[in-house]
């Protein structure tokens, strides 16, 4: 019953009131907010911006308030002030508090007039006044309505030099609080994300020393400042006591955002190297943009052109990224997608500011939504670029390491070759010196003995014998050098079957003219279980030199000079042992007996070149063999030779 009566009362009230005013906003308990649309208000354009509340409430102005006839409230004349008149009928619960809020936070002047019993209450705000002048510490403009169930008459005066749509709402206090907390929370996440990525980019700058990270960090910083200018938080938190900055904040923030962005995308896509014409164009754009910023007096038309001029870096970056991706630069794909989203959001926001599209939560925060998606794709692009950079760096380091290893190998080879060459040079020097020295001695003896034979003809026979001995010695010297030269040039391609017993007989046959051969007893013990292949000439040379060496260095005063030859040959190798009871080797000289021109000198009257054992060692090396020396208990010498079987 009571509810029906209330509805009837309100209906009658509206009928009575409609004769006086047709524009009102009804507030009820179930609704949380109302958009103050053009159908709810009457509008008056104050071209001279000189009207006061007394003027517009006078009878002379009563019929000048008219409906705008547009879907959105806007300032078609930027030099004019706009008055909006509407009534609020509050039928909500008494404990519900309401306020009027302007969602457009970039208004130069906005004044709320709320009629009370004592007249109109004035709440003056705007971005040309210090932030603390606001009744509520919020980035938007608010006016708290009196908690009254009567009809509330409201006037709002707005004046701004910027093209703007007037987004006005009537909200419940609890709705406003909830919405404001949620909005600030999301903005905190948004700016926190930008700050974290910008800070991380600085860390990457210190780690990799690449200017692209500095450009990206500066771009994100400018990006964040630009958004703070767009949503009003910059005035609230950065320069609350300097409202004059608000009239230039958008232009300045765009500049500090676009210049590092231009340098960033040029570095990211390597524009300077791969697209030099585009690089020169963008550098020219930067200088022009800085020059334009220094122009003090800018008309509205000029500012509109400047807004479109600022699209250039985005458009160039977009098409450059597509071109780079087509050319095979994979990180450019994420870059193109990210800035495509941002460019779309930037266009939507510009259309909203120009009042071409309606302002709502999507269009108002289109740049924020686009920025979040753009940062995601830019991070993917940068990570892809960094991964490619690391891979290229790793590949470069790998190639450098390989080159260093190759250089080291070549250096080692060269060092070995130089060492071998130096050894060969030293060896040749030694050979030439010893050759000249050893040949010179017998020649001098021959010359001297010939002169003596001429002077003393009575003893010519003795002189001839001594000349013959010197000539034989000279022949032995030249023969050893010829043999050494032959061993060095020996062709190792021809293999033959080795009969060790026949090889020993062949060596003894070659030494049959040696006067001391019959003075030594030679015993053989041969065990050859399989066919043995090697180089016959090398084997012959080894046996000849070892046996000849044993004959030369036998003990003259010994009645039983002997040489024992033991041979163990199988399919893998042959072990040859030559053990004699001769004069042996002086202690501590066993490491030198295989050196070139080494002469033991333990037996007087023995002459030689000192090449015998050296020739044996070199010859065995040719067939991958080896020789070792051992001292016998009775001061003799034992030579152990190992020769591989080359039948496989």
Who's near 267: CB < 8 A, 6+ residues apart? 210, 211, 212, 215
Two tokens, residue 498: 């080795």
Two tokens, residue 121: 């209450």
Query: Tell me, what's the pLDDT at 21?
Result: 43
CA pair distance 299, 302, nearest whole angstrom: 5
Better pLDDT: 448 or 432: 448
CB 560 within 8 A of CB 631: no
CA pair distance 537, 566, nearest whole angstrom: 20
Alpha helices in 495-600 (DSSP H): 500-510, 536-552
Residue 528 phi/psi, 5-degree rounding, is: -120, 105
CB 61 within 8 A of CB 44: yes
Query: Tell me, what's the pLDDT at 427?
Result: 63
Order of strands across the sheet with 637-644?
Answer: 521-528, 562-569, 573-580, 637-644, 626-631
Write down the CATH number for the domain with range 490-644: 3.30.565.10
CB 345 within 8 A of CB 367: yes
Considering just the CA atoms, what is the radius of gyration of the chain in Å?
56
Query: Tell me, what's the pLDDT at 452?
Result: 66
Categorize the per-residue pLDDT at 48 as very low, low, confident or very high, splitting at 50, 70 and 90.
very high
Total Cβ atoms within 10 A of residue 630: 13
CA pair distance 403, 259, nearest whole angstrom: 42
Two tokens, residue 94: 């008494």
CA pair distance 629, 638, nearest whole angstrom: 6
Chain centroid to CA 259: 25
Query: Tell me, what's the pLDDT at 315?
Result: 87
Who's near 202: CB < 8 A, 6+ residues apart? 213, 214, 217
Query: Tell me, what's the pLDDT at 19?
Result: 35
Query: Tell me, what's the pLDDT at 377?
Result: 84
Residue 425 phi/psi, 5-degree rounding, is: -65, -45
- Cβ-based burial of 537 (10 A; exposed 0-12, middle 13-18, buried ≥19): middle
Is 90 exceeded by the pLDDT of residue 142?
Answer: yes
Could you tell me the residue ranges of all domains in the chain?
20-175, 180-398, 490-644
Which of 419-428, 492-501, 582-591 has maximum average pLDDT?
492-501
Categorize the per-residue pLDDT at 608 as very low, low, confident or very high, splitting at 50, 70 and 90.
low
Q: Say how many residues make up the chain.
A: 648
What is the overall mean pLDDT for the chain?
Answer: 80
What is the separation, in whole angstroms, between the first and last Cα of the chain?
Answer: 122
Better pLDDT: 56 or 434: 56
Query: Tell me, what's the pLDDT at 539?
Result: 84
Is 50 exceeded by the pLDDT of residue 17?
Answer: no
Kind plus residue range of the DSSP H or E element containing 29: none
Task: Please name which of 62, 49, 59 lies closest in space to residue 111, comparing C-alpha atoms.
Answer: 49
Architecture of domain 20-175: Sandwich (2.60)
- Cβ-based burial of 75 (10 A; exposed 0-12, middle 13-18, buried ≥19): buried
Categorize the per-residue pLDDT at 287 as very low, low, confident or very high, splitting at 50, 70 and 90.
very high
**What is the average pLDDT across 616-625?**
81
pLDDT 10s digits, 328-338: 888 888 888 88
In the chain, count of helices (H) and strands (E)? 17, 17
**What is the average pLDDT across 389-400?**
80
CB 80 within 8 A of CB 74: no
> Could you tell me the CA-to-CA distances from 314 to 260, 335, 340, 344, 378 in Å, in that order?
12, 11, 8, 10, 14
pLDDT 10s digits, 228-280: 988 889 999 999 999 988 888 888 898 999 999 999 999 989 999 999 999 99
pLDDT 10s digits, 56-86: 999 889 889 988 777 788 888 888 999 999 9
Query: Tell me, what's the pLDDT at 103?
Result: 84
Query: Tell me, what's the pLDDT at 440?
Result: 63
Instruction: Report pTM.
Output: 0.59
- Cβ-based burial of 216 (10 A; exposed 0-12, middle 13-18, buried ≥19): buried
CB 21 within 8 A of CB 88: no
Categorize the per-residue pLDDT at 98 as very low, low, confident or very high, splitting at 50, 70 and 90.
very high
Better pLDDT: 22 or 101: 101
Query: Tell me, what's the pLDDT at 488?
Result: 60
Query: Tell me, what's the pLDDT at 12?
Result: 41
Categorize the per-residue pLDDT at 294 as very low, low, confident or very high, splitting at 50, 70 and 90.
confident
Q: What's the half-sphere exposure (Cβ side, CA atoms, 13 Å) at 218?
A: 18
């Amino acid at each position: 019953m009571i509810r029906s009566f209330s509805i009837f009362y309100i209906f009658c009230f509206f009928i009575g009131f409609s004769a006086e005013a047709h524009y009102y906003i009804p507030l009820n308990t179930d609704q949380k907010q109302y958009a103050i649309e053009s159908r709810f208000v009457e509008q008056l354009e104050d071209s001279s911006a000189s009207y006061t509340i007394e003027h517009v409430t006078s009878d002379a102005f009563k019929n000048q308030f008219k409906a705008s006839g547009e879907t959105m409230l806007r300032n078609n004349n930027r030099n004019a002030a706009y008055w909006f008149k509407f009534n609020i009928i509050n039928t909500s619960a008494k404990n519900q508090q309401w306020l009027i809020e302007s969602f457009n936070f970039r208004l130069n002047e906005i004044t709320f007039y709320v009629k009370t019993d004592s007249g109109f209450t004035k709440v003056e705000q705007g971005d040309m006044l210090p932030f603390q002048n606001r009744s509520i510490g919020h980035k938007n403009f608010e006016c708290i309505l009196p908690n009254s169930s009567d009809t509330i008459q409201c006037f709002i005066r707005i004046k701004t030099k910027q093209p703007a749509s007037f987004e006005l709402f009537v909200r419940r206090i609890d709705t406003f609080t909830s919405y404001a907390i949620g909005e600030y929370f999301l903005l905190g996440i948004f700016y926190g994300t930008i700050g974290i990525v910008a800070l991380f980019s600085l860390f990457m700058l210190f780690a990799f020393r690449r200017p692209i990270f500095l450009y990206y960090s500066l771009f994100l910083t400018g990006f964040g400042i630009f958004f703070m200018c767009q949503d009003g938080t910059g005035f609230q938190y950065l320069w609350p006591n300097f409202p004059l900055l608000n009239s230039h904040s958008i232009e300045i923030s765009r500049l500090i955002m676009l210049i590092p962005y231009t340098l960033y995308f040029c570095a990211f896509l390597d524009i300077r190297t791969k697209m030099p014409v585009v690089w020169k164009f963008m550098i020219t754009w930067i200088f022009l943009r800085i020059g334009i910023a220094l122009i003090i007096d800018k008309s509205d038309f000029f500012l509109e052109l400047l807004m479109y001029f600022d699209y250039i870096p985005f458009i160039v970056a977009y098409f450059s990224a597509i071109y780079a991706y087509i050319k095979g630069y994979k990180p450019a794909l994420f870059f193109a997608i990210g800035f495509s989203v941002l460019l779309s959001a930037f266009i939507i926001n510009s259309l909203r500011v120009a009042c071409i599209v309606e302002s709502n939560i999507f269009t108002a925060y289109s740049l924020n939504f686009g920025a979040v998606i753009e940062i995601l794709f830019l991070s993917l692009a940068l990570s892809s670029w960094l991964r490619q950079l690391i891979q290229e760096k790793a590949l470069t380091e790998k190639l450098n390491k390989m080159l260093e290893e190759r250089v080291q190998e070549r250096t080692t080879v060269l060092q070995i070759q130089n060492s071998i060459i130096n050894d060969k040079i030293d060896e040749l020097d030694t050979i030439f010196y010893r050759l000249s020295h050893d040949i010179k001695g017998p020649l001098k003896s021959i010359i001297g003995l010939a002169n003596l034979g001429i002077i003393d003809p009575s003893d010519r026979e003795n002189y001839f014998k001594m000349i013959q001995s010197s000539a034989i010695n000279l022949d032995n010297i030249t023969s050893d050098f010829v043999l050494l030269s032959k061993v060095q040039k020996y062709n190792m391609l021809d293999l033959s079957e080795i009969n060790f017993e026949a090889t020993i007989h062949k060596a003894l046959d070659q030494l049959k003219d040696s006067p001391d051969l019959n003075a030594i007893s030679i015993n053989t013990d041969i065990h050859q279980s399989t066919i043995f292949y090697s180089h016959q000439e090398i084997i012959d040379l080894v046996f000849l030199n070892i046996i000849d060496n044993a004959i030369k260095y036998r003990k003259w005063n010994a009645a039983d000079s002997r040489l024992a030859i033991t041979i163990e040959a199988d399919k893998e190798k042959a072990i040859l042992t030559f053990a004699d009871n001769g004069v042996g080797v002086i202690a501590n000289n066993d490491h030198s007996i295989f050196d070139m021109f080494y002469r033991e000198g333990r037996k007087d009257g023995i002459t030689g070149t000192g090449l015998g054992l050296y020739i044996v060692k070199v010859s065995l090396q040719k067939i991958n063999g080896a020789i070792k020396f051992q001292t016998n208990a009775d001061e003799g010498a034992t030579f152990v030779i190992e020769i591989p079987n080359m039948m496989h």
